[in-house]
Amino acid sequence: MRASRISLILIGLIAIISYFTLFTVLEVKNAIVLQFGDPKRVITEPGLNFKIPFIQNVIFIDNRILDIDAPAAEIIASDQKRLIVDAFVKFKIVDVLEFYKALGNENVARSRISAVVNSRIRGVLGEEPLASVLSENRSKLMKQITSLVEAEVNDFGIEIVDVRIKRADLPEANSQAIFARMQTEREREAREFRAQGAEMAQKIRSTADKEVTIIKSQAEKEANIVRGEGDGMANKVFAEAFGKDPEFFAFYRAMQAYTEGLNSDDTTMILSPESEFFEYFGDFSSVGN
């Protein structure tokens, strides 16, 4: 029993010593071994490592590409136009020891980098007109900002991978004014388009009316010609028929006159019985007898 207790105590001591002595460095981390706050070793390879218990401690620093969502900053362009710029930064800690000596930890680094980025954004974009900031030239400006930020934080053991503008908006007051100006401009263009459309429609209607008038005139001309030719042929036929049998022609014309003159129920005619109109009705002298 006594030997078992001693064994358990030894195992416990070994476990405690191992806990305070051994540590693991992951692939995504670098480690710095500190002794009373003074860096003694930098470990960049993953694996199991050791330290002096109670005297040394270990801090871990991420070796991946990190990002910062910088706070929105209001800048004034060279043409005195205001712009709200929201940027983000990607950076990597390449010198762990320099980083620790200069900044200590990631929180301080993020705050420092954000301040530098905002300062450089104001400096670079403030020298450009608003149109240049919002155009394709922005990519060139961001490369310039990245280079300036890189130069300023290089002594901190940090590499700036990229600086990009996530959002670039006008302040609310400016946005409302520009929106109103754009709306007025669009309404003016709409009025111009409507006026041009009305003018084109009037031209089309005038052209169509002119063509209709011409077509009608041409049709009436052709109809009159055809009608005249028909009347001429009819008169020719009548003339030929009258020449062959004048009595029959006179009878036919009289029948047509009867048809046209007596075609209504309320027709009233006062004529002498000896009128030529009644030539083919017979002798009226015998009617009274």
Q: Say what the pLDDT of residue 92 is.
A: 92
Last residue of a domain, one of 45, 62, 79: 62
Last residue of a domain, one of 153, 176, 199: 176
Q: Are residues 33 and 86 in the same domain?
A: no
Does residue 145 lie within any of the structural domains?
yes
Q: Are residues 150 and 116 in the same domain?
A: yes
Q: Are residues 58 and 70 in the same domain?
A: no
Q: Which residue, 89, 70, 72, is CA-closest to 163?
A: 89
Q: Which residue, 161, 169, 167, is CA-closest to 89?
A: 161
> How many residues are listed for the chain in this entry?
289
| Phi, psi dihedrals of residue 91, rounded to the nearest 5° | -140, 165
CA 22 to chain centre: 60
Does residue 91 lie within any of the structural domains?
yes
Q: Are residues 75 and 143 in the same domain?
A: yes
Secondary element (H or E) of residue 116 = helix 106-125
Q: Are residues 49 and 77 in the same domain?
A: no
| Phi, psi dihedrals of residue 77, rounded to the nearest 5° | -70, 170
Instruction: Please enumerate in sequence order all residues whose Cβ is within 8 A of that of 145, keeping only pairs 6 or more positions apart, or say none.
Output: 117, 120, 121, 124, 163
CATH number for the domain that contains residue 72 = 3.30.479.30
Does residue 283 lie within any of the structural domains?
no
Does residue 17 lie within any of the structural domains?
yes
Domain span at residue 134 reads: 66-176
Q: Say what the pLDDT of residue 288 is.
A: 46
Does residue 246 lie within any of the structural domains?
no
Q: Are residues 170 and 74 in the same domain?
A: yes
284 pLDDT higher than 50: no
243, exposed or middle or buried, with CB in 10 Å at 0-12, 13-18, 19+? exposed
Q: Are residues 24 and 115 in the same domain?
A: no
**Rounded Cα distance, 132 and 123, in Å:** 15
- Total domains in the fold of the chain: 2
221 pLDDT higher than 60: yes
Average pLDDT over residues 265-285: 62
**Rounded Cα distance, 119 and 31, in Å:** 32
**Rounded Cα distance, 191 and 194, in Å:** 5
Does residue 81 lie within any of the structural domains?
yes
Does residue 227 lie within any of the structural domains?
no
**57-68 burial, b if ≥16 CB within 10 A, otherwise e?**
bbebbebeebeb
**Rounded Cα distance, 78 and 141, in Å:** 14
Does residue 206 lie within any of the structural domains?
no
pLDDT in tens, 52-110: 888 888 989 999 999 888 877 778 777 777 778 888 889 999 999 999 988 888 889 98
